[in-house]
Chains A and B, each alone.
Chain A
Amino acid sequence: MVEYSELSEAWEIVRTQFPLAIWETVYVTFLATLFAVIIGLPLGVLLVTGDKDGIRPLPSWLMKLINVVINLLRSVPFLIVIIVVFPLTRLIMGTAVGTAASIVPLTVASFPFIARLVESSLREVDPNVIEMAQSAGADSWQIITKVLLPESVPSLVANITIALTTILGYTATSGAIGGGGLGKIAITYGYYRYKYLIMIFAVILLIVLVQIIQSSGTRLANALDHRLRK
């Protein structure tokens, strides 16, 4: 049985620490995703356009290299990424610990993933439509900006939603090494101080956040998709 005193103590911690933790989790997740998209989106476009059947094929050794590097980065466990990018983090943020600093490893760990998601979104665009654009005299840049990206907006939104929820999961790990947020709370109270109630509450909140992001992302993707009759 849970003692009443235990409950009220837990509630006190939730009340004083959770609002900030939620905010930290949310802004770190969204900022890291934003930066990862800034790097991953052009890379994903390159993976599609530079392909040998793409609109602007690049030398195949270069494409192979890019693919290998992306796969390599994706297979490194996140915990290792955090440690490996320590120097980079310190260079950019001035420190390697803290909530804001955790954005650097999160970005590094997720941009290859985002590049792959963007790649798969763009590959959904009907090649016949790309051919139509070429027959109308479009150059590669116009095909990217007026066909590939606009036509895959719903799919991009759906995929970036997946990225958001994944990166949200990563923030819990980064909480283990100096990052802030719900993950840190869950680990400090649950693992180091055996206050399971608080850990459970933090985990529930993480689940709720994932649900909210996922369902609003899906709704947004559908709202933007004009292929659906409505």
Chain B
Amino acid sequence: MIRLVDLSKTFTSAQGTVEALKNINITIEDGDVFGIIGMSGAGKSTLIRCINMLERPTEGTVFIDDTDLSLLSKRELRRVRSQIAMVFQNFNLLMQKTALQNVCFPLEIAGAAKKDCEEKARQLLRLVGLEDKESAYPAQLSGGQQQRVAIARALATDPKVLLCDEPTSALDPNTTNSILDLIRDINNKLNITVIVITHQMSVVESICKNVAILDNGEVVEQGAVGEVFAQPKTRAARALVYPESSQESAISLEGQKLIRVVFNGGEATSEPLIATMASRHGILANIAYASTRTINGRVYGSMLLGIEEDKIEKALAFLTESDGITVQEVSDNG
């Protein structure tokens, strides 16, 4: 279990002070895949670097199980670090070493014998599907392959925790998916706790169980992915979950009123809402805006419907009765 308690980090430089993290409290259970999402500059990298003390928090504590990391000696800290592996946005491979040597690196650091290192490294390259690339140098590998090598390297010391700082931000969508599959597999098979930092909603959606939304150095929301995404409460969360919804206020339709329909995780297979409303009640809805997504077979998101003013009462009545959604009339000022 990882616990961040009242964690704050302030950078002081010639240009002034930056409060990168403010009073963060997060608990991550063993075996979780925990996402930390936020806009650029929100403090995500700073937060993840605090977890292995690459960055010393200004205030607060990081507990790994029951060890307070700030109390450890340098030597003890180095030992704990070999249990908290890290995967980076730009892979950070040793460019003058082969794939095999790169995977060996953490083991060498830990003082393992060369023969044991190589055996373990081969095994891990097989796990990430690169057994035929062991003597290739990073420059000879694609981005996705390089990230696989980096993941194999991270697993070399049998860590309990895997910290991933934007592991897919440098990759194309297909490669992103294959790397996310790999991370999910690792979490399942090896039961390693995974913490993923990202600014991409889709990453959280596809692999995370829990999520914290970071805005301007503060955790503004956290919880199970489904819950947080269903009803993002804060402005920052909404901007991340439904980036398009900031356009809402710009929409106004002549002679129509706007209704916001929020999907809270109803079955995706239930009857089609708009069609039913039209065919059964003769209410024609103008879809002014829609952003929904399906997570584990359930629908989340919101939709903005333009409806003739005289039909609005009927529409509200119908929608309120439907399962898995909440409805509100949108006043002129949004």
Contact = CB atoms under 8 A, between A and B. Distances in A.
Interface of A: 126, 128-129, 131-139, 142, 146-147, 150-151, 153-154, 224-229
Contact of A135 (B74, B81, B97): B81
A136 B105 contact: yes
Contact of B109 (A126, A136, A229): A136
A132 B92 contact: yes
Contacts of B52: 135
Nearest to A143: B109
Interface in B73-98: 74, 78-82, 84-86, 88, 90, 92-97
Nearest to B137: A226
B88 A128 contact: yes
B109 A129 contact: no
Secondary structure at the A interface, as helix, strand, loop or mixed, is helix
Contact of B78 (A129, A139, A146): A139
B110 to A, nearest CB: 7
Interface of B: 52, 54, 74, 78-82, 84-86, 88, 90, 92-97, 105-106, 108-110, 137-140, 157, 163
A129 B94 contact: yes
A147 B94 contact: yes
6 contacts: A128-B90, A132-B86, A138-B78, A151-B94, A151-B95, A151-B96
Given A128-B90, A226-B137, A137 B54 contact: no
B82 A136 contact: yes
Nearest to A128: B92
B278 to A, nearest CB: 55
B51 to A, nearest CB: 10
A151 B92 CA distance: 12
Given A137-B78, A150-B97, 8 more contacts: A128-B88, A128-B90, A129-B93, A131-B92, A134-B54, A136-B86, A225-B96, A229-B140
A45 to B, nearest CB: 17
Contacts of B54: 131, 134-135
A146 B107 CA distance: 12
Contacts of A229: 139-140
A213 to B, nearest CB: 23
Given A131-B54, A146-B108, A229-B140, A137 B81 contact: yes
Contact of B88 (A132, A154, A224, A225): A132
Contacts of A132: 86, 88, 92
Contacts of A134: 54, 81
Contacts of B163: 135
Nearest to A127: B92
